[in-house]
A and B are shown apart, each in its own frame.
Chain A
Amino acid sequence: MSRFRLPPQIVRLILLTIGIVSSYLVARYFLTPVSFRQYGWFRGDALTELASRPTVFAGKATCEECHSEVSEKLLKHEHKNLSCEGCHGPAAAHVADPENEKEKPDKRNALACLRCHDANPSRPKSQKQIVVKEHYTIQKCTECHVPHAPLEVP
């Protein structure tokens, strides 16, 4: 009885399988991001990448750093819970370059007032609302109302 030998076609198949599997393992080793499975079945670096986007709205605390006199006045009146950027628009560009006139947040028009105070049957009754046609319409809102102190007379 001669010693048992694998048929050559089987040997070739085994070698081929080992080759394919090992090249897959090598490719996976190099292609899987380092941070994959850091927190779970995803790339952990995606979190820091998403977090690194620049902001557009600066936040009320940032506005207060320079405009504290306005925010202190605002705190004493009805609009105390409003954020600056809700009416004046995003300010991150203004914070980055305060001298640039182009990036200065808006001085708002009547639309900013009506956005919240225009009468609408879907609004809660507690919200102060006006029907524009019945309200005094000849002048601007700000000629009778002070946005930072709504109940004060200018």
Chain B
Amino acid sequence: MKEQLSRRSVLGKVIAGLVALVAAPAARATKTTVQKVLVNTSAPKGYDPTKHKWIMAVDVNRCIGCGSCADACKKENHVPEGAYYRTWIERYIIKKPKPGSLETRGEVLVDSPEGGMKGFQAVPVAKEDILHSFFVPKLCNLCAHSPCAQVCPVGATFDAPDGAVLVDPKYCIGCGFCIQACPYGCRFLNPITKTAEKCTLCYHRITRGLKPACVEVCPTQTRIFGDLKNPIPNDPIQQFFAHNRVQNLKPHLGTDPRLVYAGLDKEVR
């Protein structure tokens, strides 16, 4: 009896071990099939996000407000028609102070007709009343501590290791928390896909070695784009930092934007 029992127990253990051996790969195989159904992973490979650190700079002094960047962005990223912009241009007009007043600057007007996509033909103020005026291109500020990624309840918005702040459209539930959280107003809810959308630095372009569309078409080199981990000879981004005094937008919020501006005025938010 004793021998039979021990044989049975040994056999039981062997069978259990075999089952475990078969079950573990089977579970893994089932998992991958489940994954294949849930997500399509047929995307091209060969780009390592840990080997890049993208950065963008804007030299406000150079911007002529032509609107090529906003137009190109809309075409490149198939941004829906209407008031949806991943990048746009703002026009700041600072009027002369009222005669006799001790103020140094008058009223400040800010506008962005159609995101500046078609330029700024109409000037809302008589030329004589303008103290000075300039254009400010706006886009994702590439925060090092991005509020949008912090508030996302499903892990759809994230800081990619290469510095881009991206949205996973398959995970986004369209709750809009990130749109409220972004202090720079850089996000919107796509009316077609009902997911949050934003500047991706043209992720599909930079991973192929191209410049973002807005940088590509900018006629005055207002927008400068570079990779901090792979500097090139005469790197425009290094030149920009060598020759300019730089600023961030809303530095008091502690978002630590990696998008830097040169030549901003105090009215710009």
A residues lining the B interface (CB < 8 Å) = 29-31, 33-36, 39-43, 45-57, 59-60, 81-83, 85-86, 90, 115-116, 118, 120-124, 127
Q: Which of B50, B203, B211, B221 contacts A50 (CB 8 A)?
A: B203
Please measure, in the bound complex, the distance between the C-alpha atom of A33 and the C-alpha atom of B38, giving whole angstroms: 8
Please measure, in the bound complex, the distance between the C-alpha atom of A120 and the C-alpha atom of B125, giving whole angstroms: 11
A29 CB contacts on chain B under 8 angstroms: 27, 31
* B92 shortest CB reach to chain A, Å: 8
Q: Does B239 contact A (CB under 8 A)?
A: no
Residue of A nearest to B92 (CB): A122
Task: From B47, B133, B166, B170, give the contact of A122 (CB < 8 A).
Answer: B133
Of B27, B43, B211, B220, which contacts A48 at CB under 8 A? B43
Given A40-B159, A48-B43, A55-B210, are A124 and B75 also a contact pair (CB < 8 Å)?
no
- The smallest C-beta distance from A93 to any residue of chain B, in angstroms, reads 11
Residues of A within 8 A of B50 (CB): 39
Asked whether any CB of chain A lies closer than 8 Å to the CB of B39, the reply is yes
Which A residues are in CB contact (< 8 Å) with B218?
83, 86
In chain B, positions 206-251 with a C-beta closer than 8 Å to chain A are 207-208, 210-211, 213, 216-221
Closest beta carbon of chain A to B81's beta carbon, Å: 16
Contact A82 B219 (CB under 8 A): yes
Is A57's CB under 8 angstroms from B166's CB? no
State which of B121, B135, B170, B205 has its C-beta within 8 Å of the C-beta of A55: B205
* Bound-complex Cα distance A105 to B204 (A): 21
Contacts of A53 in B (CB 8 A): 203-204
Q: Complex Cα distance A34/B34, Å?
A: 10
A-B contact pairs, 19 of them (CB 8 A): A30-B30, A30-B34, A33-B35, A34-B31, A40-B159, A46-B170, A48-B44, A48-B45, A55-B205, A56-B75, A57-B210, A81-B221, A83-B217, A90-B76, A120-B65, A121-B127, A122-B120, A123-B65, A127-B220
| B5-13, B66-74, B179-187 - the one binding chain A | B66-74
Can you add 9 more A-B contacts, CB < 8 Å, to A43-B39, A47-B203, A86-B68? A30-B30, A40-B161, A42-B171, A51-B208, A53-B204, A81-B221, A83-B219, A122-B120, A122-B135
Q: Is the Cβ of B207 less than 8 Å from the Cβ of A39?
A: no
Task: Flag if B93 contacts A86 (CB, 8 Å).
Answer: no
Residues of A close to B177: CB separation below 8 A: none
The answer to whether B160 touches A47, judged by C-beta atoms less than 8 angstroms apart, is yes
A72 to B134, CA, bound (A): 33
Are B32 and A43 closer than 8 Å at their CB atoms? no
| B161 surroundings in chain A (CB, below 8 A) | 39-40
Q: Within 8 Å of chain A (Cβ to Cβ): is B91?
A: yes
Q: A56 is contacted by which of B76, B211, B219 (Cβ under 8 Å)?
A: B76
Interface residues of B in 17-70 (CB under 8 A from A): 27, 30-32, 34-35, 38-41, 43-45, 47, 49-50, 61-68
Write the chain A residue with the least CB distance to B154. A42
Provide the residues of chain A in CB contact with B160, threshold 8 Å.
Answer: 39, 47
Contact of B64 among A43, A50, A116 (CB under 8 A): A116
Interface flag for B130 (CB, 8 Å):
yes
Instruction: Please state if B219 and A124 are interface contacts (CB–CB under 8 Å).
Output: no
A83–B218 CA distance with the chains assembled, in angstroms: 8
- Please state if A85 and B120 are interface contacts (CB–CB under 8 Å): no
A43-B168, A51-B47 given as contacts; is B39 within 8 A of A118 (CB)?
no
